[in-house]
Chains A and B, each alone.
Chain A
């Protein structure tokens, strides 16, 4: 009988089904409800999970009672009495026995038990767990041990989200846009932000002077250059993260690092950490935020290594894939969609729910941006055959199969669609055994053009979740005029 892990009732609800060490299914509620970052379980998601049988046990990704104490302290009184944990699940028709694990424990377990390591230092950095905001762990064999932790309201994640809102984006959702915007500015306000907000940020300590849980929209309205604000908060984040990793390297005698929590989606900071070289190997589970904690909750409860082979764990679309036709469309300069195989578990489209295009030429970026209705400054990611990655990019790591690191583009003039303003790109490398369909497509494109990479972005438009089932793909095709295979 399978064990279900559930993360819900806050943001990015998700559900994972695990049997022993096998991950049978994992998906996000937003893909079914079509509401971006949907906080609540959706009946279709539950029905999809039930195809693998009724749960023997459900594991909830955090401790609701402990969380209530923090909410009471924070002043979120309206949240304190709402149904959570077992009561929330019962309201969704789920009556299996429920166990609870800590929020950061779920993150740490999701990272460690899916990693290829038997011994690793683990770092979890997010906005808030129950009380935890930053925590350091050591994983050895089946044991996870917390070494250090920082508590609310001292939170780097909250500060980052607050500044996301300050520069006009949606907090708790559009932090990745702030990261992209940072490349356009200069970090001129680091001292000012330090002076106004930061009491201490010498690793491992991170203390704020004021609680930023209600955002910082009020902060210095006379400063209007949002690019520089973005660059400054990004610089503070990178500086602290690199310091924290160095500190952890001195505490744990292991060459392996596992990074988790929402901040692990910051691929620019990840790359700085990788280049700093405090650890030889880094593993970031492709869904390091709260949605990934549904899987982490099960791992934290069972304390068993999960058989992680790929992130394609969601809804399946079984259709033949016409390589020749797709290659011809790409050569004709078309932007095409792929909706094939099981959906990705995580925020990145890694080839099964992707929009792809020829990355060469100056018009591609604008054309894809028009389809996706997103800000013109934002870059697109390349997907490249792994053996060619070093020829085109200055890679900070040997391979990056989940788009978690950025790398300088060696010839940005040839590939303007995938090079950001700072001439970097968030690279996805592919080997044949990782994704045969995508690798075959890249091979066909390489044979015909000499170019072993394609532009790869998510099959959605701005503000919408990724396409999930074939019906969504057909709707996308009809609305946006993109042929989907």
Chain B
């Protein structure tokens, strides 16, 4: 199990990054341009 987790770690990091970007894009659309 530990080995599987270790192997999956980079993919989980990628997934989290992707989720973060999706969240940012969603949140950004709510706000007006500052310039």
Identify the A interface with B (CB < 8 A): 10-11, 74, 76, 127-128, 158, 161-162, 165, 171-172, 196, 210-211, 213-215, 217-218
By a CB distance below 8 angstroms, the chain B residues around A214 are 28-29, 31-34
Q: Is B11 an interface position by the 8 A CB rule?
A: no
Number of chain B residues close to chain A: CB under 8 A: 12
Q: Which residues of A contact B35 (CB under 8 A)?
A: 10-11, 127-128, 158, 161, 171-172, 213
Q: Is the CB of B28 within 8 A of A218?
A: yes
Give the CA-CA distance A233 to B34 in the complex, in Å: 17
Contact call B21/A210, Cβ cutoff below 8 A: yes
A71 to B, closest residue via Cβ: B33
Instruction: Kindly list chain A residues whose C-beta atoms are within 8 Å of the C-beta of B33.
Output: 74, 76, 213-214
B 1-35 contacts with A by CB, 8 A: 20-21, 23-24, 27-29, 31-35
Question: Which B residues are CB-close (under 8 A) to A211?
Answer: 28
Cα-based distance from A303 to B31 in the complex (angstroms): 41
Q: How far is the CB of A52 from chain B (nearest CB, A)?
A: 32
Residues of B within 8 A of A171 (CB): 34-35
Report, nearest first, the 10 A-B pairs whose CB atoms are least far apart. A218-B27, A171-B34, A214-B31, A214-B28, A215-B34, A215-B31, A127-B35, A213-B33, A161-B34, A210-B24
Tell me the minimal C-beta distance from B5 to chain A in angstroms.
23
CB–CB B31/A217 < 8 A: yes
Complex Cα spacing A76 to B34, Å: 11
In the complex, A211→B31 CA distance in Å? 13
Complex contacts, B34 vs chain A, CB 8 Å: 158, 161-162, 165, 171-172, 213-215
| A215 neighbours in B (Cβ, 8 Å) | 28, 31, 34
